[in-house]
Amino acid sequence: QRYRDPTAGDKMNPFAEQEAWEDHQIGKATLNFGSKNKKRMSDDYQFVFEDQIEFIKASVMDGDKFADEHAELREMSMAQSAFEKLQEERKSLPMYRYRDELLDAIEKYQVLVIVGETGSGKTTQIPQYLHEAGYTKRGKVGCTQPRRVAAMSVAARVSQEMGVKLGHEVGYSIRFEDCTSDKTVLKYMTDGMLLREFLGEPDLASYSVVMVDEAHERTLSTDILFGLVKDIARFRPDLKLLISSATLDAEKFSDYFDSAPIFKIPGRRYPVEIHYTKAPEADYLDAAIVTALQIHVTQSPGDILVFLTGQEEIETAEEIMKHRIRGLGTKIAELIICPIYANLPTELQAKIFEPTPEGARKVVLATNIAETSLTIDGIKYVIDPGFCKMKSYNPRTGMESLLVTPISKASANQRAGRSGRTGPGKCFRLYTAYNYYNDLDDNTVPEIQRTNLANVVLMLKSLGIHDLLHFDFMDPPPSEALLKALELLFALSALNKLGELTKVGRRMAEFPLDPMLSKMIVASEKYKCSDDIISIAAMLSIGNSIFYRPKDKQVHADNARMNFHAGNVGDHIALLKVYSSWKETNYSTQWCYENYIQVRSMKRARDTRDQLEGLLERVEIELIANPNDLEAIKKSITSGFFPHSARLQKNGSYRTVKHPQTVHIHPSSGLAQVLPRWVVYHELVLTSKEYMRQVTELKPEWLVEIAPHYYQLKDVEDSSTKKMPRGQGRAS
Ligand code: CDP
Ligand code: MG
């Protein structure tokens, strides 16, 4: 199978996906070269590394059956027919019939709400229509997506449909990755990126149209964007605003945008048979796998889509499934497993869109991303365990966690609908009908009402929006959460007592990071270790995919990992050591293999770090490396993360200092066996217990030194270190 090599790294240049997509085309084109070449092609593909692309291109070209120039000609004509086929596909989308009507409506109204079934062509077609109608002569068309994978993959698709290179006329922009150029007129981006663009261009002057897509997802950034675009539309009558959504929340959007007209695109939808389980499933993952295999063995052709909650779960499911398929013997038709989640390497993303070969069946293991953001053709069966991972936030403690939560009825219906796009479908809900009718909420609570708002508040303050309580929110956040965000920003010295942005805050806002991370970076100026701190920040932003631990080599992997923890330096500094050691080997891939480190993640960290370095320059912080002064590095970390401090209890658990709560060091931490008295942590994750992930030891007096307005001496006095009662033993 092609695209199977998990080690093939992200390419370093900003046009990485462009190359990946080209590979994809080559892969497709060769199918017509004859079976011999096809085979070679697939064999090659198992070992694709970025520097081998040229080699693959060459091997396609020098097929023994054809002379070079024949191959070239043939490839050109093939590309031509592929292009024509794409144009046919474009015309067959439900959207196409309404093209002119839609353009008329856009011409006539400044703000338009567009509603259409998922897969009808809103995201891929509307920006192209606008381009064809000449809007891009006046400025870019921007289209926002709540998810980065969607932004990338849709941009890739549209560039193909337009027959241009990704990054030229059609590009995308996601955090730490800008694949656009001066030529770019259709720009797909995450909603968070457009939000950041307001900082540099408060009236979005370079845009002629802004399309806030997937509006029904109601992400935090989308909700804030609503307020901002609504505001600029008032003084920019030339700016067109499109709010597009897959569900029937349209009235709500219309009301919010001063009764903007609603353009409905009638979708085609085939009937979907819904099946429920008779009793609740104890283990939904297992139930999902069993159901998928049952469908594969007993049901007529058609691909399967399974909704799972996250990368780890998807990887586990993939592994178990592969194992069980082997157990089924060779009589069973081929089952192609395609995972899709936010961090899936780009070169694997294209795979889910490849048509399933005759006689085989595809099973897509997806997160919520396949609910509405991405449409995969050919899905006939949907398996819905009824859960997703959702952020929840406790404004009292300021703690945020990702929890596996039951989905809403609206989500369940979207999921089911994915099976009826191209023909009648079936949806297997792994919960009871009673659960569906009685336990599921009607709609998902918008993110703004269940998240930490510090980031957004800092952003709005930087935009000069001070009166947050009266910001035009579609659904206002709880005022407690707003206050908590203001408090945190004040504690981080980003705001002064009057709630005004300080110089520190202004600098922090330049970084597309969580305010605590930004503060850690800004503080590194004082401790003269900015170079080290941005490496740590870059590594932290990659998440948990740095180390890998194959099942059969866990001991080796753990040993390799512990090398970086020598001296119990703590997880942050261990991450720094990983990064610097890799850099010393001149970013060697081999070194990564030897140390059980994911080269792909490291490359992402390097990209991120490069960008942070550029931002340091922007806020005029000198790049200084000081890797041996661990205290300086730890103090910088503490400057950002002091609200996340905890002290050891007698029983080996920890208690957070402010808003006391019992927490534990995550078993993956280098300090899990060490148990220092005082620690500062990066984040909390709730699994079986409330765990601190990425932990570093600190000295309690630092807390008072660094954040005197936040901690008093009494907060950090250890009962065991408390000496004599006050007043005694002093010469006063
Ligand atoms: O936005 P909406 O859900 O209305 O539809 P779309 O994303 O524009 O999708 C229109 C068509 O393009 C669907 O048939 C998708 O399968 C296809 N598409 C694709 O083949 N590859 C992508 N990366 C994105 C969309
Ligand atoms: Mg869409």
pLDDT surpassing 90 at residue 531: yes
pLDDT digits (tens, 9 = 90+) for 80-103: 788 899 999 999 998 999 999 999
Residue whose CB lies within 8 A of the most ligand 1 atoms, among 124, 421, 422, for a mutation test: 124
Which residues 6+ apart lie within 8 Å of 132 measured at CB?
none
Q: DSSP strand E in 574-622: where?
A: none
Q: What pLDDT shows up at residue 605?
A: 94
In this structure, the number of other CB atoms found within 10 A of the CB of residue 205 comes to 12
Q: What pLDDT shows up at residue 347?
A: 72
pLDDT surpassing 50 at residue 727: no
Q: What is the DSSP letter of 511?
A: S
Which residues have any ligand 1 atom within 6 Å of their CB?
93, 116, 118-125, 153-154, 157, 353, 375, 377
Which residues 6+ apart lie within 8 Å of 462 measured at CB?
199, 501, 505, 506, 509
ipTM tops 0.95 = yes
Ligand approaching nearest to the C-alpha of 172: 1
**Tokens 């609206």 -> residue:** 410
Ligand approaching nearest to the C-alpha of 121: 1
Task: Name the strand (E) or helix (H) holding 435.
Answer: helix 433-438
pLDDT surpassing 80 at residue 294: yes
What is the rounded distance in angstroms from the CA atom of residue 583 to the CA atom of residue 370?
A: 37
Which residues 6+ apart lie within 8 Å of 17 measured at CB?
152, 155, 156, 166, 172, 179, 346
Residue whose CA lies nearest to ligand 1 atom number 19: 157
The values of phi and psi at residue 352, to 5°, are -70, -20
Model confidence at 545, pLDDT cuts 50, 70, 90, reads confident
Q: What is the pLDDT averaged over residues 705-709?
A: 93
Sign of CA dihedral 507, 510, 516, 520: negative
- The number of helix segments (H) and strand segments (E) in the chain equals 27, 21
Mean pLDDT lowest among 275-284, 345-354, 486-495:
345-354
Q: Ligand 1: distance of its center to the CA of 104 in Å?
A: 23
Model confidence at 290, pLDDT cuts 50, 70, 90, reads very high
Q: What pLDDT shows up at residue 74?
A: 59
Q: What is the pLDDT averaged over residues 579-607?
A: 94
Q: What pLDDT shows up at residue 76?
A: 65
Cβ atoms 635, 706 nearer than 8 A: yes
Q: Ligand 2: distance of its center to the CA of 215 in Å?
A: 10
Model confidence at 62, pLDDT cuts 50, 70, 90, reads very low
Around ion ligand 2, which residues have CB less than 5 A away?
Answer: 123
pLDDT surpassing 50 at residue 5: no
CA angle 653, 390, 454 (to 5 degrees): 75
- Coil, helix or strand at residue 717: coil
Taking all residues of the chain, what is their mean pLDDT, rounded to a whole number?
Answer: 85
The values of phi and psi at residue 297, to 5°, are -80, -35
Q: Ligand 1: distance of its center to the CA of 85 in Å?
A: 15
pLDDT digits (tens, 9 = 90+) for 192-236: 999 999 999 999 999 999 999 999 999 999 999 999 999 999 999
Mean pLDDT lowest among 55-59, 346-350, 449-453, 701-705:
55-59
Q: What pLDDT shows up at residue 50?
A: 28
Q: What is the pLDDT averaged over residues 492-517?
A: 95
pLDDT surpassing 90 at residue 664: yes
Q: What is the pLDDT averaged over residues 498-526?
A: 96
Rg of the chain over all Cα atoms, to the nearest angstrom: 27
**Tokens 């457009």 -> residue:** 194
Ligand approaching nearest to the C-alpha of 375: 1
Atom of ligand 1 nearest to the CA of 213: 1
Q: What is the pLDDT averaged over residues 9-22?
A: 27
The residue with greater pLDDT, 187 or 371, is 187
Q: What is the pLDDT averaged over residues 721-727?
A: 45
Q: What pLDDT shows up at residue 26?
A: 24
142 has which bridge partners? 187, 210
Atom of ligand 1 nearest to the CA of 95: 4
Residue whose CA lies nearest to ligand 1 atom number 24: 154
In this structure, the number of other CB atoms found within 10 A of the CB of residue 238 comes to 12
Of 143, 141, 309, 308, the C-alpha closest to 214 is 143
Q: What pLDDT shows up at residue 65?
A: 34
Cβ atoms 231, 212 nearer than 8 A: no
Q: What is the pLDDT averaged over residues 244-270?
A: 87
Mean pLDDT lowest among 137-146, 282-291, 543-552, 553-562:
543-552
Q: What pLDDT shows up at residue 393?
A: 82
Model confidence at 304, pLDDT cuts 50, 70, 90, reads very high
Cβ atoms 209, 239 nearer than 8 A: yes
pLDDT surpassing 90 at residue 363: yes
Supply the pTM of this predicted model: 0.81
Atom of ligand 1 nearest to the CA of 376: 16
Mean pLDDT lowest among 19-23, 95-99, 367-371, 609-613:
19-23
Atom of ligand 1 nearest to the CA of 377: 16
Q: What is the pLDDT averaged over residues 568-581?
A: 97
pLDDT surpassing 80 at residue 348: no
Using a pLDDT cut of 70, give the percent of the chain over it. 87
Of 569, 560, 609, the C-alpha closest to 587 is 609
Q: What pLDDT shows up at residue 210?
A: 98
pLDDT surpassing 60 at residue 725: no
Model confidence at 494, pLDDT cuts 50, 70, 90, reads very high
Q: What is the pLDDT averaged over residues 138-166?
A: 95
Mean pLDDT lowest among 530-544, 616-630, 680-694:
680-694
Cβ atoms 484, 397 nearer than 8 A: no
Q: Ligand 2: distance of its center to the CA of 622 in Å?
A: 43
Mean pLDDT lowest among 11-25, 367-381, 399-413, 555-569:
11-25
Q: What is the pLDDT averaged over residues 619-647?
A: 97
Atom of ligand 1 nearest to the CA of 124: 8
What is the rounded distance in angstroms from the CA atom of residue 703 to the CA atom of residue 644?
A: 11
Q: What pLDDT shows up at residue 519?
A: 97
The residue with greater pLDDT, 537 or 328, is 537
Q: What pLDDT shows up at residue 73?
A: 59
In this structure, the number of other CB atoms found within 10 A of the CB of residue 338 comes to 23
Residue whose CB lies within 8 A of the most ligand 1 atoms, among 145, 170, 375, for a mutation test: 375
